Amino acid sequence: MFALVDVNNFYVSCQRVFEPRLEGKPVVVLSNNDGCAVSRSNEVKALGIAMAKPWHQMREVAEQHGIIAYSSNYALYADMSNRVMSILRRFSPDQEIYSIDECFLGLDAIGRDHTELGMEIRQTVQKWTGLPVCIGIAPTKTLAKLCNHLAKKHSRFAGVCEWAKLDQATQQRVMQEVTIGEIWGVGRRLSVKLNEDGIFTVADLMKADPETIRMRYSVVLQRTVMELRGQPCIDLEDVAPDKQQILCSRSFGQLVYSEHELAEAVSTYVARAAEKLRRQQSAAGALAVFIRTNPNREKDPQYSKHVLVPLSQPSDDTLQLTKAALWVLKRIYKPGYAYAKAGVMLLELQPNTGIQGHLFLESADPIKRANLNETMDKINRQWGRGTLRLASAGFNHGWKMRQNNLSPCWTTKWADLPVAGG
């Protein structure tokens, strides 16, 4: 038996925890560079504003209805996510963190009534973090997802929907009402194809012959059919697999022309990627850098280049990786273009054990270097990202993301700590 716990309108809800005045008001959180809506409060959804709607297109509606917009505050969301996940861990030893605001729990080892347990989870998360969650409970992960969808949609479930507690007539009706686009793992493109084959609802897909589905579509969709019929095919993944590649890329807040500024951005991205690399105790065997102009500015001359270089030794050293990345940048940079985005990717990741002893490492003493990186990570963890950085990462950062409506980092910065009373 599985439970899927999902925070409602996660980013918006995080903002509301620290600013209760936002309760009941239409609120959106915008993507990087304040581009489009990535989280919407129910009030905003009710206004018919779709996910990923560009902010500049909803300015007018926003003014009319007093929509309050925030820049994404990932430091806040990541911290709130950790709090929710550690609370959920108390309720079941079997936990799979599926995304920043979603988590599967295995309930097989838990003897009590599952709906009651769900209610208690919900109340605890609400009380301890201030965040509202909905919970779907079912014999398969796919059905648990579906139940979560129902719990969100229908207030009569009071936030917890358990498949086994629905009578058969209700189960049937739900299957006929919910469209396949809502099913876990069925994306938009697949929906279109299924529609062409006359499959529109969950009920249609359940009735389809699994073997035919496998041949016509994929073994993955066949599993989905089995799961909808109540046969578990997808198990919990207890340990999130280590990333096979690490990408750090951003669109710039303003166009960038000089190599110097691109180098600042690339250095900053390498530092972030290398930090992630060390956190999962990997080393990179190759590194790629890309830079590009904005293809939407059709009148501008366009340029885009992506170059991958193998490293002579796998490395997790910020200094070495930065050196390699800037070497690549020097070769791909062309003056005269308005650059809109750059990125760094670390590839051919491998465990970093045993690579420190190489005799001919070109860098300084590898042990000293490892200590330096470790110290840098510690300082940056405690004092905030980028507190200690290479000079090549620069100071001005005119290229940084636009975040005009960024809220304070209430839970991760001492200076932003909220003050109660008065």
Pull the structure tokens for residue 341. 């985005």
Least gap, CB of 343 to Mg ion (angstroms): 27
DSSP state of 136: E
Pick the closer one to Mg ion by CB: 38 or 234: 38
Pick the closer one to Mg ion by CB: 50 or 379: 50
Closest listed residue to residue 237, CA positions, set 102, 138, 122, 119: 102
Pick the closer one to Mg ion by CB: 7 or 147: 7
DSSP state of 334: -
Q: Are 291 and 284 in contact (CB under 8 A)?
A: no
Least gap, CB of 15 to Mg ion (angstroms): 14
Least gap, CB of 6 to Mg ion (angstroms): 4
Place of tokens 């300084």: 364
According to DSSP, the β-strands at 102-106 and 95-99 are antiparallel
Pick the closer one to Mg ion by CB: 5 or 284: 5
Alpha-carbon span 268 to 394, nearest angstrom: 8
Q: Are 235 and 139 in contact (CB under 8 A)?
A: no
DSSP state of 408: P
Least gap, CB of 242 to Mg ion (angstroms): 25
Pick the closer one to Mg ion by CB: 55 or 77: 77
177 phi/psi in degrees, rounded to 5: -90, -35
Binding site for Mg ion (CB under 5 A): 6-7, 10, 101
Pull the structure tokens for residue 79. 């911290």
Pick the closer one to Mg ion by CB: 92 or 148: 148
For every residue of 306-329, DSSP letters joined together read: EEEEEEEEEE--HHHHHHHHHHHH
Give CA separation, 370 vs 93, 294, 326, 354, 367, in Å.
35, 38, 21, 12, 5
Least gap, CB of 101 to Mg ion (angstroms): 4
Least gap, CB of 99 to Mg ion (angstroms): 8
Pick the closer one to Mg ion by CB: 51 or 308: 51
Least gap, CB of 403 to Mg ion (angstroms): 22
Helix axes 141-153, 219-228, angle to 10 degrees: 60
Pick the closer one to Mg ion by CB: 133 or 262: 133
Least gap, CB of 68 to Mg ion (angstroms): 19
Least gap, CB of 201 to Mg ion (angstroms): 23
Place of tokens 């990462």: 393
Pick the closer one to Mg ion by CB: 158 or 364: 158
Q: Quick one: CA dihedral 341, 347, 353, 356, positive or negative?
A: negative
19 phi/psi in degrees, rounded to 5: -135, 80
Alpha-carbon span 319 to 331, nearest angstrom: 19
Pick the closer one to Mg ion by CB: 49 or 248: 49
Least gap, CB of 256 to Mg ion (angstroms): 34
Specify the 3-state DSSP secondary structure of 165. Answer: helix
Specify the 3-state DSSP secondary structure of 371. Answer: helix
45 phi/psi in degrees, rounded to 5: -60, -40
